[in-house]
């Protein structure tokens, strides 16, 4: 035999029976079924008819909305438009030897500059001369010598030509104008640039090319070749004199 119902279970069963009787009296299941059958399902909007190609002389021609005559496109002119970006196909990658040569030459030149004008050396990277064209300046140099707010800076090259750039104080670097300076002066990876602060907002710029390493190597090889040739000439002359001396001795012996 099952256990006797508790008072809670009796109360719960009585509530369920009362709720079921009320639902049947209100006929709620029949109403829900009738409403479900009368519900209207929205239909999707009709698709717009697509325009078909109109036949012309037995050929299918694409229909244009505009009646204006179509101008022919000259793709050669489009391909020859100047690009606002630098051509990266001839990007230069400096060797370690060429980079070290430019840095050592820059340090030698830096030691000869006026001591009253603060300066620093910057070795060019790809981000300085090809990609982002952003030139960062040492933080210690900025905090000690440069303005505390954004200031236009003038760059003067060895020919005396001036270029205007913008110094960003919060980012410690040159932004606007540096790209034009780098491209016009053909700066490449490995070049060493000395920035000499000749006034509050003016840099005198000294450029040392990394290509000078190969030029110096060519001059050195030419000098070694000439020295070798002189040595060969001296050796041949000495050898010839020894042969003549030996020949004269043989004649005397006879």
Q: Where are the domains of the chain?
A: 96-208
Q: What percent of the chain has pLDDT over 70?
A: 67
For position 59, what pLDDT does the model report?
A: 57
The CA distance from 100 to 191, in Å, is 10
Q: Is the pLDDT of residue 8 over 80?
A: yes
pLDDT digits (tens, 9 = 90+) for 175-213: 889 999 999 999 999 999 999 999 999 999 999 999 999
Higher pLDDT, 135 or 59: 135
The CA distance from 165 to 159, in Å, is 18
Supply 224's token pair: 């070694």
The angle at the Cα of 157, spanning 95 to 153, to the nearest 5 degrees, equals 105
The answer, as to whether pTM is greater than 0.75, is: no
CA-based nearest residue to 155, from 129, 114, 211, 193? 193
Supply 226's token pair: 């000439």
- Mean of the per-residue pLDDT values for the chain? 77
For position 168, what pLDDT does the model report?
A: 94
Supply 108's token pair: 């030698």
Kindly tell me the burial class for residue 42, based on how many C-beta atoms sit within 10 Å of its own C-beta (0-12, 13-18, 19 or more). exposed
Distances, alpha carbon 241 to alpha carbons 218, 230, 249, in Å = 35, 17, 12
CATH 3.20.20.210 fits 96-208, yes or no: no
Distances, alpha carbon 17 to alpha carbons 8, 20, 127, 224, 246, in Å = 15, 5, 83, 117, 145
pLDDT digits (tens, 9 = 90+) for 37-94: 666 667 788 887 776 665 555 555 566 666 777 677 665 554 445 555 555 656 788 8
By residue count, the chain amounts to 254
CA-based nearest residue to 97, from 234, 236, 240, 217? 217
For position 254, what pLDDT does the model report?
A: 42
Could you tell me how far CA 246 lies from the centroid of its own chain?
A: 74
Please name the helix (run of DSSP H) or strand (run of DSSP E) that holds residue 229, with its range, or none.
Answer: helix 212-253
């Amino acid at each position: 035999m099952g256990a006797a119902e508790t008072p809670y279970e009796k109360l719960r069963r009585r509530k369920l029976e009362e709720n079921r009787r009320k639902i049947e009296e209100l006929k709620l299941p029949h109403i829900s079924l009738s409403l479900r059958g009368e519900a209207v399902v929205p239909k999707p909007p009709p698709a717009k008819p697509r325009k078909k190609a109109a036949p012309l002389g037995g050929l299918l021609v694409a229909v244009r909305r505009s009646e204006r005559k179509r101008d022919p496109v000259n793709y050669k002119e489009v391909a020859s438009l100047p690009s606002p970006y630098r051509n990266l196909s001839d990007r230069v990658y400096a060797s370690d030897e060429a980079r070290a040569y430019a840095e050592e030459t820059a340090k030698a030149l830096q030691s000869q500059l006026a001591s009253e004008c603060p300066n620093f050396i910057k070795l060019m990277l790809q981000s300085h001369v090809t990609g982002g064209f952003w030139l960062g300046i040492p933080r210690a140099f900025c905090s000690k010598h440069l303005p505390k707010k954004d200031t236009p800076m003038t760059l003067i090259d060895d020919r005396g030509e001036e270029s205007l750039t913008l110094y960003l104080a919060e980012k410690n670097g040159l932004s606007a104008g540096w790209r034009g300076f780098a491209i016009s002066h053909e700066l490449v990876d490995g070049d060493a640039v000395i920035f000499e602060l000749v006034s509050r907002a003016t840099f005198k710029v000294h450029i040392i090319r990394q290509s000078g390493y190969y030029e110096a190597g060519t001059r050195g090889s030419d000098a070694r070749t000439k020295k070798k040739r002189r040595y060969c000439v001296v050796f041949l002359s000495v050898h010839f004199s020894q042969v003549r001396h030996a020949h004269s001795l043989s004649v005397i012996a006879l």
